[in-house]
Structure 1
Amino acid sequence: MSICNSILSALALRVLVTGAAGQIAYSLLYSIAKGDVFGKDQPIALLLLDITPMMPVLEGVVMEMQDCALPLLKEIIATDKEEVAFKDLDVAILVGSMPRRDGMERKDLLKANVAIFKSQGAALDKYAKKTVKVLVVGNPANTNCLIAAKSAPSIPKQNFSCLTRLDHNRARSQVAMKCGVPATQVKNVIIWGNHSSTQYPDVHHCVVNMSGSEVPCFDAVKDDAWLKGDFITTVQQRGAAVIKARKLSSAMSAAKAICDHMRELWSGTPQGEFTSMGIYSTGNSYGVPDDLVYSFPVHIKDKTWNIVDGLAINDFSRAKMEATAKELMEERDTAVEFLGV
């Protein structure tokens, strides 16, 4: 290896993707390695973790990444060992989780995944950098994220987040289609609460750029019944609708949302805009109970999120925010009961 390549490898951002032989990772890895997420001049070392039976598939993924001949990709490590995968990480994207099977109760799904994310949280605590940024994607994402954070006590809880950007993107897209504008013309939608069918997609603070002027969403859409009815249920149930249609989960859009989430976490949110992110609640914002990972509207600067404060919350919104918080409290209490974290 040349001196130049040695220096670049040393400067490479160490990025872990778990469930790396799966569908979401297959749509995600190229964008990370190409520079679409962490910057066009940021060398990347990819650490790919999956379970032992998936290692032959993962080797095929590694071959494809090599065959892409990407100049920023300095190293690829494929492993089934946590002590290898979590070593000196800068970023951990925890995609892999136990999927829900036919006939499986949500409590059974929680029990299986709590064990996984307790182990991975402990591995983060033991092996990763204390500055590591952790994004949990595997469902139930909010509670998995909470368990991982509780299992990594030496890493600040602010370093943990879960993915609700996919729901955020879905909400933007639904409004954009209704208004006949590109999704980029819709900003400041909010996803409150859980990444589940209780989430609350809120457009009371959303604006739509219509012919060069920013118009409140309700004025742009001109259909209050839709915004308080079918819009909300469409976003809440979009994942299930995709599975019903394609017989597979929404891997492409999830990978895009992961890229959006991590890019803004790394580079910041645009001026005057906020995004949605599942983060640790301290009980100080919008009446949300503490000790939950709950999706809030956030600004991001210098790789640090801050909740957008002072937004007016009407009774309609408050009821939906409380309903999703209740579900999260029940999930948390069930998870803690299983593993005592």
Structure 2
Amino acid sequence: MVSAGLELLLSRKLVRLTLSRAAEPIRVVVTGAAGQIAYSLLYSIAKGDVFGKDQPIVLILLDIPPMLPVLDGVVMELQDCALPLLKEVIPTDKVEVGFKDIDAAILVGSMPRKEGMERKDLLKANVAIFKTQGAALDKYAKKTVRVLVVGNPANTNCLIASKSAPSIPKENFSCLTRLDHNRACSQVAMRCGVSSDQVKNVIIWGNHSSTQYPDVHHALAVKDDAWLQGDFISTVQQRGAAVIKARKLSSAMSAAKAICDHMRDIWFGTKEVVSYPWSVRCGNSYGIPEDLIYSLHRPDQGQNKTWKMVDGLPINGFSRAKMDATAAELVEERDTALDFLSQ
């Protein structure tokens, strides 16, 4: 007969063995890992807010060589947090290390626009970065990798990364307009005097830029057309610039929160109808040019991390003009970037 104490001990060992078999660490890379957005982001990833409270993580921090000393400090801080899910932290400046066998990539780093820099120069610099990273994803990452592009111009950078990684499904790539979505929901919530989680079906159409169109025609009603077609749109479009003007630095805390929201919903799915960027293909009912990363309305299908576009929403004349304007900007960005990509 097995004693009660021995039975309990065997039971605990069995539980530990089952957990160790069920929860292999996933490998997650964050680029631009020495920057301020990553600094606000890494703790949430490492403690389980994104990939689950029982999911061990190997965190790879990728940045350019001059930032390696800063990465050493970030590693020390992550170690000092004593996070049980964080199994290893790997700082590196090498893409072959950063993208090796990864399950998820959060591409935060990009070339920022500097004073006196023309937009075409910005695009050219970022094409080189995301061509390299896309090729590295193609060569080293798992083919199931989920890629979120944050670095601006995010939509076009995402397109270049996807085109440079032909063996990875295009639907595995997305870029961050969740921050714009969160901003729009917050503005509506404050206007209506409700909590932000009560605001449903807000859509961000188009580019993560000042041409984006935050659309609330399918969301919680606000009976104020002048505000909806005026200050609301301009506030969401210009929110990033307003943050920079106020704090002399770009959005970091809210950007990190949006990254977590976006990647968590990709990883686990959600029944909420939310706005995400999606690579538009033939057959959409919105008249959007093909071969763009254009923010659309799409909900989770509920299984296997697969998604579908919400097709056939009624679009009024005001929305049509706004959607076409942001599409035109994306087409211009795409064509300029593809010229550089072919050089």
Coarse TM-score class (shorter-chain normalised): over 0.9
Partners in 2 of 1:141 and 1:276 — Cα distance? 15
Partners in 1 of 2:22 and 2:124 — Cα distance? 39
Q: Which residue of 2 aligns with 1:114?
A: 127
Partners in 1 of 2:72 and 2:294 — Cα distance? 36
Q: Which residue of 2 aligns with 1:231?
A: 232
Deviation of the 1:8 alpha carbon = 7.0
Unaligned runs of 5+ in 1: 208-216
User: Residues 23 and 55 of structure 2 are in contact (CA less than 8 Å); yes or no, is this contact kept in structure 1?
Assistant: no
Q: For 1:296, what is the secondary structure of its paired residue? A: strand
Q: For 1:248, what is the secondary structure of its paired residue? A: coil
User: Residues 277 and 298 of structure 1 are in contact (CA less than 8 Å); yes or no, is this contact kept in structure 2?
Assistant: yes
Partners in 1 of 2:317 and 2:207 — Cα distance? 19
User: Residues 33 and 70 of structure 1 are in contact (CA less than 8 Å); yes or no, is this contact kept in structure 2?
Assistant: yes
Q: Please state which structure has a larger fraction of its residues in strand.
A: 1
Deviation of the 1:10 alpha carbon = 7.9
Partners in 2 of 1:9 and 1:134 — Cα distance? 24
Summarize the Cα distance change of 1:8–1:24 in structure 2 as closer, same or farther, 3 Å threshold.
farther
Q: Which residue of 2 aligns with 1:274?
A: 273
What does 1:2-151 correspond to in 2, within 5 Å?
7=20, 11-151=24-164
Identity of aligned residues (%): 77
2:282 partner letter? G
Partners in 1 of 2:89 and 2:20 — Cα distance? 16
What does 1:252-267 correspond to in 2, within 5 Å?
252-267=253-268
Q: Which residue of 2 aligns with 1:310?
A: 312
Partners in 2 of 1:206 and 1:167 — Cα distance? 15
Q: Which residue of 2 aligns with 1:210?
A: none
- Per-residue deviation, residues 14-44 of structure 1 (Å, max 9, x unmatched): 1110000000000001101111111111111
Give the number of the structure whose alpha-carbon radius of gyration is greater.
2
- Per-residue deviation, residues 74-128 of structure 1 (Å, max 9, x unmatched): 1111100000000001000000001111111111111100100000000000000
Deviates more, 1:241-250 or 1:284-293: 284-293
Partners in 2 of 1:268 and 1:121 — Cα distance? 25
- Per-residue deviation, residues 273-311 of structure 1 (Å, max 9, x unmatched): 311111211132211111000000111233122111221
User: Residues 134 and 165 of structure 2 are in contact (CA less than 8 Å); yes or no, is this contact kept in structure 1?
Assistant: yes
Tell me the C-alpha RMSD between the 2 structures.
1.7
Unaligned runs of 5+ in 2: 1-15
Partners in 2 of 1:36 and 1:303 — Cα distance? 18
Q: Which residue of 2 aligns with 1:247?
A: 248
TM-score (norm 1): 0.93
Deviation of the 1:66 alpha carbon = 0.5
Deviation of the 1:132 alpha carbon = 0.3
Q: How many residues align?
A: 325
User: Residues 117 and 148 of structure 1 are in contact (CA less than 8 Å); yes or no, is this contact kept in structure 2?
Assistant: yes
Q: Where does structure 1 differ by over 3 angstroms across 4 or more consecutive aligned residues?
A: 6-10
User: Residues 205 and 214 of structure 2 are in contact (CA less than 8 Å); yes or no, is this contact kept in structure 1?
Assistant: yes
User: Residues 267 and 305 of structure 2 are in contact (CA less than 8 Å); yes or no, is this contact kept in structure 1?
Assistant: yes
Q: For 1:111, what is the secondary structure of its paired residue? A: helix
- Per-residue deviation, residues 197-252 of structure 1 (Å, max 9, x unmatched): 00000000012xxxxxxxxx1xxx22110001110011001000100111100010
* Structure 2 residue corresponding to 1:339, chosen from 324, 338, 341: 341
1:188 corresponds to 2:201: yes
Partners in 1 of 2:150 and 2:178 — Cα distance? 10
1:165 partner letter? R
Q: For 1:116, what is the secondary structure of its paired residue? A: helix
Deviation of the 1:9 alpha carbon = 11
User: Residues 9 and 74 of structure 1 are in contact (CA less than 8 Å); yes or no, is this contact kept in structure 2?
Assistant: no
Deviation of the 1:340 alpha carbon = 1.1
User: Residues 9 and 43 of structure 1 are in contact (CA less than 8 Å); yes or no, is this contact kept in structure 2?
Assistant: no
Deviation of the 1:131 alpha carbon = 0.4
User: Residues 23 and 56 of structure 2 are in contact (CA less than 8 Å); yes or no, is this contact kept in structure 1?
Assistant: no
